[in-house]
Amino acid sequence: MDLKLHTRSAWIKAKADELGFMDCGIAKAEFLAEEADFLEDWLRLEKQGSMDYMANHFDLRTDPTKLVPGAKSVIVLTMNYFPSAQQRSDAPKLSKYAYGKDYHKVIKKRLKSFLGALNEQFGEVYGRGFVDSAPVMEKAWARRSGVGWMGKHTNVLSKKVGSFFFLAVLVVDIPLAYDEPTTDHCGSCTACIDACPTNAIEEPYKLDASKCISYYTIELKATDLPSEMKERFERWMFGCDICQDVCPWNRFSKPHQVDAFEPKDGLLELSEEEWRELTKEQFDELFAGSAVKRTKYKGLMRNIRFVGLD
C-alpha cells in the first residue's frame, strides 16, 4: 500500500464532500477496451439517431490519456438532483434534472474550484474537468471508480441513492489510489424495460437512443414528431424519467441540497393550459440559465402540442 497515494485520495474525497459533491470515486486513466468495442457496435447500428456528435473523436472518447496528455487518474464525482417536490399531475412533464439551473454550468464552476484546490494542495497538477459536454464516457468511469454500476436502463445506479444524480469527471496527471469497480445489482429485475413506452431499452444494458422520449423531445430537431409515437409519450414534454421512476433502487433517493437545482417559483404549479399558452417572453424568464434552453422555445412548444390532450 502506497500511503502517499492513499493520503492524496482521502484528501480528494474530503474536498469533494466539502464542495457539495455527493460521492467521489477514482479510477486509473487508461484505454477503455471493452467499452470501445461496445460503442463501435452501437454506432455501427446507428442507435445514436441524429446525434452525429456521438461518433466524433472516438479515440479521445475511449482513451482519457489522449484527451488529457499525461493523464494518470480519473476522478468521478456525483451530484444529487432529486427534487423535494414535483409538478402538478395534470401538466405536461418536465424531467426532474431540468427543474433548476443548467447542471453543466453549476458543476463546471465547482470543478474549476476543485482543480484550483488540487494545485494548491499538491503543487502543479494538470487536468481538465468534464460535465456531459465532451467526448468522455462518464458512465464507464463511474463503474470503474466504484461510484455505481450501469443499470439495465443504461443509467448509473448506486445502492445508496438510486440514479437521480449527475456525473462529472476530473482527468488529472497525478497518480492516486484507485477504487474497485462496482458490481451489478439489477439482478432479474426488468422494471425499466417493461415500463419504457417506446421500447427504447431493446434488451438489458442496450439502449436505442433514437427511440427514447428524451431523444425525441430534446435532440430531434425535426419540425414535427413522428405521429405513430403520439400515444406513447405519456405526456413528457422535455426529457423522460420513466425508467428511473420505476427502478426499485430509487426508493433510496433523497432530496438534494443544491440551491441552484431548485425550480423557479411557480414552475411546478403551471397547469396544462398555462403551458400551452406559454409565450416566448415567459419561456425566456422561466428557463433563464436552464437546460431547457437546449430545445429552444419553438422546440418546447412543438413538444407541448404533441403531448396535449386534444
| Domain boundaries defined on the chain | 1-310
Q: Answer whether residue 309 shows pLDDT above 70.
A: no
CA atoms within 13 A on the CB side of 256: 25
**Per the structure block, which three cell numbers stand in for 97?**
434534472
Q: Quick one: 238 exposed, middle or buried, by C-beta within 10 A (0-12, 13-18, 19+)?
A: buried
Q: Are 280 and 293 in contact (CB under 8 A)?
A: no
Indicate if the pLDDT at residue 1 is higher than 60.
no
CA torsion 147-156-149-12 (nearest 10°) is -10
- Indicate if the alpha-carbon torsion angle 63, 67, 72, 78 is positive or negative: negative
Instruction: State the sign of the Cα–Cα–Cα–Cα dihedral 236, 53, 41, 181.
Output: negative
pLDDT at position 310: 52
Which pTM value belongs to this model?
Answer: 0.94
Helical H segments across 93-241, by residue range: 103-122, 138-144, 191-195, 213-214
CA 154 to the chain's CA centroid: 11
Section 4-16 average pLDDT: 96
| Pairing of the two strands 93-94 and 156-157 | unpaired
pLDDT band at 45, cuts 50/70/90? confident
Beta carbons of 48 and 55 less than 8 angstroms apart? yes
Residues comprising the chain, all counted? 310
Per residue in 178-195, pLDDT tens? 999 999 999 999 999 999
- Alpha carbons 256 and 103: distance in angstroms, whole number: 13
Lowest mean pLDDT among 51-55, 72-76, 103-107, 257-261: 51-55
Which residue type does 221 have? K
Active-site residue, selected from the candidate residues 132, 194, 224, 310: 132
132 is catalytic: yes
For residue range 257-274, list pLDDT tens digits in order: 999 999 999 999 999 999
Contact 181, 187 (CB under 8 A): no
* Contact in structure between 171 and 67 (CB atoms under 8 Å): yes
Q: Hey, how many other C-beta atoms are within 10 angstroms of the C-beta on 284? A: 11
117 — pLDDT class (breaks 50, 70, 90): very high
SS3 54: helix
Helix (H, G, I), strand (E, B) or coil at 26: strand
pLDDT score of 51: 84
- The residue-averaged pLDDT of 273-297 equals 96
Q: Is the pLDDT of residue 135 over 70?
A: yes
- Residues 80/16, Cβ–Cβ less than 8 Å: no
Q: Note the Cα 256 to chain centre separation in Å.
A: 15
**Residue 223: phi, psi to the nearest 5?**
-65, -40
Task: Name beta bridge partners: 174.
Answer: none
42: enclosing H helix or E strand: helix 33-44
Mean pLDDT of 106-134: 94
Nearest to 273 by CA among 88, 89, 91, 86: 91
Q: How many Å apart are CA 164 and CA 96, to the nearest integer?
A: 8
Confidence at residue 52, expressed as pLDDT on a 0 to 100 scale: 82
